[in-house]
Structure 1
């Protein structure tokens, strides 16, 4: 006879997506799906522009908004595209947070490539989706597709339905 707890754990493990058991876990980001053609608004305590490199560095209480998507950090460097005034990438560091709808993520650093809708967060990443939290070292999100992958010693706790 098999112990009931063993059967419960076996059923739980077999019901998980294969990626959740490996070093990387695929995660759904329907709440983070984003229209990357919307305008990008940046506010900060200070701004330094470097014409030679085509970058602008916002420092102190930086907040970037694109539609319902919000990113905050201690510093965000804006890398401009060859097209005048068009932002190519945002390089954020220093307590980076990223939120949209019911999903939020924290990390040490992040790079957001606007045209492709690619967001890569690294350094002690913590993702929360409602009551679920997943941690790892790197989180790569495709904002256009609403999908992503968490990598680097992924950890989460699954709550069984009806559990406290």
Structure 2
């Protein structure tokens, strides 16, 4: 997993950076069909029939289409209608990847019906050579956009072409 401090330090040392209070970014690579099946693998699983949850722990990897989410712990909350996942709550250091775009945070909450992923705590978004950091980011998987908030810092790599 990438270490946000070292990446930001390296990018800051290479020059350039813009600071803002909030930013909306294109997140086209994260555009996702939220109706696709969700596949989960982990070291262990604990199911609670009483509250309709399943707790996956240890090397958890979740896939839906081209999107992959990895975390040490993921709580799956099922809707009242049996067998349908309502939301996923990933904690302990989360990585969300699709193509050359990746995002990291301390926590991610994926609401499948709404088609949103809310990442919080030291968010780092990389898109190719560019990086953005903030305290929170809400990704809309249907539109392929993300809204970042909480002291946003952006490092954009300059093109060699004039």
Q: TM-score, normalised by structure 2?
A: 0.85
Where do 5+ consecutive residues of structure 2 fail to align? 1-17
Partner Cα distance (2:157, 2:46) in 1? 47
Deviations 1:71-108 (A, max 9, x none): 00000000001111000000000110001111100000
Pick the aligned partner of 1:82 from 80, 99, 120.
80
Aligned residue in 2 for 1:62: 60
What do the CA deviations read for 1:10-63 (whole angstroms, capped 9, x no partner)?
A: xxxxxxxxxx76311101011000000100000000001111111000000000
Contact residue 22 and residue 151 of structure 2 kept, 8 A = yes
Distance 1:161 1:72 in 2: 32
1:25 aligns with 23
| Alpha-carbon distance between aligned partners in 1 of 2:140 and 2:156, rounded to the nearest angstrom | 24
Q: Deviations over 1:119-147 (max 9, x none)?
A: 00000000000111100100100000001
| Structure 2 CA distance for aligned equivalents of residues 70 and 61 of structure 1 | 13
Q: Distance in 1 between matches of 2:131 and 2:33?
A: 25
Partner of 1:15: none
Instruction: Report the counterpart of residue 103 of structure 2 in structure 1.
Output: 105
Q: What is the TM-score normalised by the length of structure 1?
A: 0.84
Equivalent residue, structure 2, for 1:35: 33
Rounded to whole Å, the distance in 2 between the matches of 1:45 and 1:160 is 42
Query: How many residue pairs get matched?
Result: 144
Consecutive unaligned residues of structure 1, counting only runs of 5 or more, are: 1-19
Aligned 8 A contact 2:43 2:58 in 1:
yes
The structure that has the greater radius of gyration is 1
Provide the residue aligned with 2:14 in structure 1: none
Moved over 3 A (4+): none
Correspondence list, 1:147-162, <5 A: 147-162=145-160
CA RMSD after TM alignment: 1.3
Q: What displacement does 1:161 show?
A: 2.8
SS state at 2:35 partner: coil
Match of 1:16 in 2: none
Cα distance in 1, alignment partners of residues 128 and 83 from structure 2:
37
